[in-house]
Structure formats: structure tokens, C-alpha cells
Amino acid sequence: SGSHGGNGISRAAPLEALLFDIDGTMCVSDPFHHRAFSELLQNLGYNGGAPITPEFGMAHMAGRSNEQIGRFLFPDWPQARLDAFFAEKEALFARYAGEGLREVPGLAELCRWARERGLKRAAVTNAPRANAELMIGILGLADFFQLVVAGEDCGEGRSKPCPDPYLRALDLLGASAERSLVFEDSVVGVQAGVAAGMPVVAVASESREAKVVAAGASMVVRDYRDAELWAALEAAAGAPKIDSEPSAVDAKL
């Protein structure tokens, strides 16, 4: 892993908010999306009936909204047919994810740290809201996030890589871009966070590191156990809130 752009995380001090993408960033969900898409596309005889490869999925589907994926896969389909296809795909995904969705290692510890520090927290995703809430629930983080912004909340054509989903989250959280940090895994997601004016930590394999760095990531980690990430977070956050001055409420007790 490594820092790029002089560790942009430090410029977010004092840290106020953490914004997380979900798919691939908080959980290893791509295999389940891939399995669902692959089965449905094979049934349709897409690609001559040959299964799509994981590389095809990463290149054309990962991090993108269903609207974007639909336009790519079936440019001539009417909306009603696309809606039916994606409803079936999300139902399959929910079944597979329910059987085996896992967190990216170290996520629970990072979430506990953010809560102790009193940081504001949002999930920002191109996934449909129902899908987003399903994954957050499986991860046991339903009460961790103060809000979830889904691509569909931002209007036609305004999901990531547009900055709109992140700007909306900042607005609803009452947080400033200068004091916030984004966690992402896809190129479109990194582009969105950077366009919204925030430093971005990319969770990416070695093979994808160059791509997310080119998109503007300040730091690249394999998962949340990265020592350099923790050093940067501690430095940006400063002293923990729980050890701070007693509050007025405590003083009265």
C-alpha cells in the first residue's frame, strides 16, 4: 500500500465525518453480484450464452448504478424490461449475499473507532436503496450510519462518478468536505469523492492500485488493518472525544 499526493488524509484534520461506499468497500460483494448477473445473462443467451468473466464485471459493472449497467448491457431495451431484469437480479443477489456476505477485514474495528470519536457517518452508494440497506444489515451496521444516500436519490444521470451523492451526504450530515474522508473501491467512486472535494482512501488489490491512484485516491489499502491508514486516521482525528472535557450534563451529576 502507499500514500499518494502527500497523504491527503492529513489535510482533513480535525476529522469530522467518514463517508463509506458499500459494495467492495465495506464488504466483499462482487462475487455475489457477478453470480447473479452471470446466471441471468446466461439464461438470456447474452454473449452467445458464454458466461461473463469477472474481468468483464469489473470493467463494465462494478461501482456502477443499475441505470448505467442497463444502458451498457441492453441499450435498446425498454425501461419496463430493464426494471424487471434488475428486480430479478437484486432478488438473486439478496439470496446469495444472505448466505455469505463478509466484511472487508478490519471494518468493524474502524466503525467502533469512528463511533468512539463521535464522527459523523454516512453510506454513499450507487446501489439501489433496498440493496444497500440489506448489505448494511447483514454487516450488523444498521445503527452505525446516520444516513444512507443511494444513487437513485440524486436524479437521472447524477450517480457516481458525479459528486452529487457525496455532496448530498455532506449536506444532510452537516459536514464540510474539508473535514471529511471517503472510503471507496471503484474508479467511479474515487472520482466522485475527489470531485466532491474530499480525500479518498481506496480499498483495492495490487492489480487495481494504479487505476484508483490515477482516479485521485490519496491512499490505497488492501483492507482496514493497514497500519499507515490507522496512523493517518489517528493524526487527523486528534484526541478521542470520549476523553475530552466532561460535558455540562456530567458536571450536573
pLDDT digits (tens, 9 = 90+) for 130-189: 999 999 999 999 999 999 999 889 888 899 999 999 999 999 999 999 999 999 999 999
Q: Does 166 lie in the same domain as 233?
A: yes
Q: Does 183 map to a domain?
A: yes
Q: Does 163 lie in the same domain as 77?
A: no
The domain tally of the chain equals: 2
Residue 238: predicted pLDDT: 86
Q: What are the strands of the beta sheet with 200-203, ordered from one edge?
A: 2-3, 219-221, 200-203, 180-184, 17-20, 120-125, 147-150
Q: What is the CATH number of the domain that holds 43?
A: 1.10.150
Q: Does 232 lie in the same domain as 109?
A: yes
Contact 167, 196 (CB under 8 A): yes
Contacts of 105 (CB under 8 A, 6+ apart): 223, 224, 225
Residue 244: predicted pLDDT: 44
Q: Does 51 lie in the same domain as 154?
A: no
Q: Does 108 lie in the same domain as 49?
A: no
Q: Does 95 lie in the same domain as 85?
A: yes
Q: Does 75 map to a domain?
A: yes
Residue 165: predicted pLDDT: 97
Burial of 85: CB neighbours in 10 Å, binned 0-12, 13-18, 19+: buried
* Residues with pLDDT less than 70, the chain: 1-7, 239-253
Range of the domain at 111: 17-28+102-237
pTM above 0.85, yes or no: yes
Residue 5: predicted pLDDT: 41
Q: Does 74 map to a domain?
A: yes
Q: Does 135 lie in the same domain as 161?
A: yes
Q: Does 172 map to a domain?
A: yes
Q: Does 10 map to a domain?
A: no
How many angstroms separate the CA atoms of 147 and 155, rounded?
18
Q: Does 228 lie in the same domain as 117?
A: yes
Q: Does 252 map to a domain?
A: no
Residue 240: predicted pLDDT: 66
Residue 93: predicted pLDDT: 96
Q: Does 63 lie in the same domain as 35?
A: yes
Q: What is the CATH number of the domain that holds 180?
A: 3.40.50.1000
Residue 206: predicted pLDDT: 96
Q: Retrieve residue 129's grid coordinates.
A: 436503496
Q: Does 94 map to a domain?
A: yes
Q: Does 125 lie in the same domain as 51?
A: no
Q: Does 37 lie in the same domain as 131?
A: no
How many angstroms separate the CA atoms of 3 and 5, rounded?
7
Helix (H, G, I), strand (E, B) or coil at 235: helix
Nearest to 17 by CA among 193, 186, 189: 193
Confirm whether 143 is a catalytic residue: no
Q: Does 218 lie in the same domain as 207?
A: yes
Confirm whether 23 is a catalytic residue: yes
Q: Which residue is catalytic, options 23, 153, 164, 185? A: 23
